[in-house]
Amino acid sequence: MTRQPAVAGRAEQLLGSSVISTAPVAGGDISTAVKLRLSSGRTAFLKTLTQAPPSFFEREAAGLRWLAEVEDGVATPEVLAVDSDCLILGWVETTRPGQDAAAAFGRALARTHLAGADVWGADHDGYIGRLPLGNQPLPTWAEFYLERRITPYLRVAVDKNLVAADDAGVIERAAARVAEIVPDEPAARLHGDLWNGNVLWGQEDRVVVIDPAAYGGHREVDLAMLTLFGLPQLPHVMAAYEEVAPLADDWQERLGIHQLFPLVVHACLFGGGYGARAAKIAQRFV
């Protein structure tokens, strides 16, 4: 049994409970993660980041709480404490993905989306990974997607030579056609960064989502990201989703338009071939 005094002490300050042991948790590429064993018998998860951007953890906590407001919606870990330098959550014990869990997750995600949002955007900006995420509302989804989700990150990627100028032009032209391509629907309550790594397959068929970049947007954004990076049992998730909230015809053919955003963000964060991949998808819509 090990105990990192500095980490344990910070957790004790915030929780008001003694920390018996700590253990590093692998997997994150932004924050340092630690598993905490508390004197109460509970297990918790602490993530911390030296010189975190302003409100970095507070925004994450707010997103988790916003998603958790929905009755029978997607499950989130309990927010036990948050401060400018760290976030402490209830621990989620994971297991293998199963069909029953996938179906339950699909129905829960549909209910979360249907809970809706007041605006296209949010009343505060957030983060996607370690990048700032502008959420200032705009009147339509088409405007919001182009101006808040595509153009700012394309500009960064081109300036850093992470996306070729020609590829950026194709991506921007495709994104400008969202109003023609995507069905008009009310704003959904989005997780906003719903890739496989942010979906935890918990015990007793309870699927838990983490690390949101939550805002009001088109529900096909979350579905596009699940499809882009792959999710175990995805057909079962989607079949159950449509039981609760049927999608407009040809939704699978449209997913590419909303996959442009995570691909451009990945280009900004990791470089590689993400920009070219986004441009290849965008070609289908121009």
Residue with tokens 């153009």, as numbered in its chain: 151
| Tokens 């990627």 sit on residue | 157
Give the SS3 label for residue 97.
coil
Mean pLDDT of 45-74: 96
Q: Domains in the chain and their CATH numbers? A: 5-90 (3.30.200.20), 99-285 (3.90.1200.10)
Least confident of 5-19, 27-41, 210-224: 27-41
pLDDT at 76 over 70: yes
pLDDT score at 29:
72
The band of 1, judged by pLDDT with boundaries at 50, 70 and 90, is low
pLDDT per residue as tens digits for the range 239-278: 999 999 999 999 999 999 999 999 999 999 998 899 999 9
In our burial notation (b when 16+ CB lie closer than 10 A, e otherwise), range 187-224 reads bbbbbbbbbeebbbbbeeebbbbbbbbbbbbbbbbbbb
How many C-beta atoms surround the C-beta of residue 264 within 10 A? Answer: 31
Query: Given this model, what pLDDT does residue 102 score?
Result: 98
Q: What would the DSSP string read from start to end of 125-166?
A: -EEETTEEE----BSSHHHHIIIIIIHHHHHHHHHTTSS-HH
- Residue range 168-195: average pLDDT? 97
Spatial distance between the Cα atoms of 152 and 2, rounded to a whole number of angstroms: 44
Residue pair 109/85 in contact by the 8 Å Cβ criterion: no
What average pLDDT does the chain have?
A: 96
Residue 26 has pLDDT above 90, yes or no: no
Instruction: Please tell me the pTM assigned to this model.
Output: 0.96
Taking residues 177-193, report their average pLDDT: 98
Over residues 214-219, the mean pLDDT reads 98
Over pLDDT 90: what percentage of the chain?
Answer: 92
Active-site residue among 193, 211, 222, 250? 193
Among this protein's residues, is 193 annotated catalytic?
yes
State residue 2's pLDDT score. 81
**What are the tens digits of pLDDT across the range 100-141?**
999 999 999 999 999 999 999 999 999 998 999 999 999 999
Q: How many CB atoms lie within 10 A of CB 247?
A: 17
